[in-house]
Amino acid sequence: MTIEQMEEYLEVVMCNYNAHPTSAHYGKSPLQFLREESEFALRRIDASVSASWRNLLKIELSVPVRARDGHPPHIHYLKVEYTNDLLRAADMLVGKDIVITVDLTDLRTVEAQAFGGIPLGTLFARGPWATFVHDERLRKRLNREIEDGNFHWEEGKDPEQIVNQLLRRAKHSAAAEPDRPKSPPPKRTEAKPSRAPRLIADVAKSMDFDIEAILGAKLKG
């Protein structure tokens, strides 16, 4: 089936669905329901910061507070250091776990609290990670590129611009890469017909026996 045929097929399916009465629309078709009861059919999404659907994109997890090599207390999440003024002064939390709330669509900051519900405020990512909006998927991809030696932060340059350049190069190289020729299937080697087993009697017929040599003097006697 070609793409054009698939589009025509989907168009017919959608038209039939929109014109067919369903129990979900109280015996009316979707088009009829939209036309007659539009105030109930159309709902505006809550775009506020406190909208409940935003919680679906957040996770909570516990992480240890660290302080080593002369660094003040901080945490690590996906290989990036986070801290704030309150956590830097909380030496008593070093070695203990705190709870962080991560917005998977924006990893520049995380919300933190100590066990018992004591708020620690917003922790900020250190370095270039705090300067541009990035989600969990992009963070993991950049970490892989850094480990493979394909990406590094350049001092004095806008981090977001550097990331966009990397993504454009990856997109262009993927588009320019020719399709790999498919290797031909391995040739079938026809098995040679095995030699039919020969009966012992047949083998005996084809062999010359020297009875005298075998039995020796017993025949002479």
Q: Could you state, in order of their start, the residue ranges of all structural domains in the chain?
A: 3-41, 55-174
- Supply the pLDDT for residue 205: 52
- What are the pLDDT digits (tens) for 144-161? 999 999 899 988 899 999
The listed range with the strongest mean pLDDT (120-134, 167-181, 184-198) is 120-134
Would you say the C-alpha torsion 34, 35, 40, 46 has a positive or negative sign? positive
Is 98's pLDDT higher than 90?
A: yes
The more confidently predicted of residues 203 and 108 is 108
pTM over 0.75: no
The more confidently predicted of residues 206 and 169 is 169
Contacts of 109 (CB under 8 A, 6+ apart): 82, 103, 122, 123, 124, 125, 130
Please, are residues 80 and 125 in contact by the beta-carbon 8 Å criterion?
A: yes
Calculate Rg over the CA atoms of the chain.
Answer: 38
